[in-house]
Chains A and B, each alone.
Chain A
């Protein structure tokens, strides 16, 4: 497989997405709501209780840990959910623009094409996830430092690093591959997104389990990460096996 060929497809897809406002707004909205707006609301609620002197320090720290846990979980959910917007569009979008036939006529293998499409979905999803996570971390840390009962930096911590650094990208890859399989099998963007959404549901349980296990033990977390990585590789090969040029060209309406 020639990676540079995949990268050509990736760059083209990124250029197309950049010019699609629907995709852009959808990408940005979720990290802002889940990663920035919700933590601010929680902090605001907690702050009201702290300033009124209702909560002792232990309870404040427990509440803060809960906020951090939730914010971290959101940033695993985001890369699992967002690919249903982009990846589901990947082949169906080409089919809608009728650009798939000339693309398939180029000397590019199925694997190169699928990897290029996967990267084009993975990169923007992870970029917005990391930007959202960074902003969320800054908001939480600013608040924790300036709150006398806490007065310390909370993020990054080992759990946050493990989840954001390993589980989030693996969850994203899993979702991208699942959505690409769906996208290459259906012939309508709405069907692709609806089915993509359905495919994401079991993934959400998987990543919640993975994130929770990461909180419990480092060894368990590593085992989960390895399992996710193996599942990702298996899904990529499954997407390659299920990608049928002929079916796409002759059976799609």
Chain B
């Protein structure tokens, strides 16, 4: 079984600098895949290699059934992928419509379909009314939307988005995110390079963390769970030594800490084990005010992994 994107030991060096080191990953068809990493981690280099914009130093990569090594395959890969670079790169003196029309022609979209796609995308992104205005007169957010429309003009099977919300205000970022969610519903495969952890967590089915080498890859939830124990916090009106001793005896509690009137418990499966914990506390005379779960954020995971990767 082959993924839509498959890489094996993909490496890219620039003189003595290794930008991407032995990257092996698989992205399935229909998946929204997030690529996280600090500046200079090799995210853009990876995307450029996968879009056949630059070559590799060693390793292999395929998009669908096409290899990035072969010149004739590269044209087919470029035809099947949509690419939003970090810099939108629109023709400022040309109208929004003309910008899309130009790319539609280069992607070999027949004229009736091209017209239909331009109208649909511009309407969907709320810039149809300004289709005849020069792109240079657009705000940053509108330019970004137009660039996304450009990447989608040929209905690509695979979409590469390099920092799609970088430098956008919160409202424009939300519009772009909402649009990606719409695309996700259409079952498109989307590969997102981002610094925005919240965005990655909300949009992506799986996340890879890159720091030249692949540090981790999993679903956001699994990444959080794999690195930090799940914690249950029990808020009480007061905590006694007997109560702590009673809870400590429970095998489901891996670790116990107190903070003011809170018991902080490491429990692997709180859904299953919390009722027993609550019964034990009540039996030991504890007055429970409420019970909450403390989850580690993707930011915690990301920072921990990147720190570990830096020290290796």
Residues of A within 8 A of B (CB): 5, 8-9, 12, 15-16, 19-20, 97-109, 245-246, 249-250
Contacts and interface: CB of A to CB of B under 8 A. Distances in A.
B55 A105 contact: no
A193 B248 CA distance: 78
B53 A245 contact: yes
B91 A99 contact: yes
Contact of A97 (B54, B75, B89, B147): B89
Closest 3 CB pairs of A and B: A98-B87, A19-B93, A99-B89
Nearest to A101: B85
Given A12-B102, A15-B94, A245-B54, 9 more contacts: A8-B102, A8-B106, A16-B94, A99-B89, A102-B89, A102-B150, A104-B53, A107-B108, A250-B14
Contact of B91 (A16, A104, A109): A16
A122 B102 CA distance: 20
Contacts of A8: 102, 105-106
Contact of B54 (A16, A102, A108, A246): A246
B98 interface: yes
Nearest to A94: B89
Q: Among B79, B93, B106, B150, which residue has the most Cβ atoms of chain A within 10 A?
A: B106
B78 interface: yes
Contacts of A109: 75
A100 B88 CA distance: 10
B188 interface: no
Given A12-B91, A15-B98, A102-B150, A249 B105 contact: no
B193 to A, nearest CB: 13
Interface in B93-112: 93-94, 98, 102-103, 105-108
Contacts of B75: 107, 109
B89 A100 contact: yes
A36 B14 CA distance: 54
A223 B134 CA distance: 49
Contacts of B81: 105
A245 B90 CA distance: 19
B90 to A, nearest CB: 7
Contacts of B203: none
A106 B89 CA distance: 13
Contacts of A100: 89
A20 B91 CA distance: 12
A97 B92 contact: yes
Contacts of B91: 12, 16, 97, 99
B184 interface: no
Contacts of B54: 245-246, 249-250
B107 A246 contact: no
B105 A98 contact: no
Contact of B85 (A12, A102, A246): A102
Q: Among A5, A9, A16, which residue has the most Cβ atoms of chain B within 10 A?
A: A16
B302 interface: no
B166 to A, nearest CB: 14
Nearest to A108: B106
Given A5-B106, A8-B102, A105-B78, A20 B93 contact: yes
B88 A98 contact: yes
Nearest to A116: B106
A105 B51 contact: yes
B83 interface: yes
A106 B53 CA distance: 10
Contacts of A250: 14, 54
Nearest to A100: B89
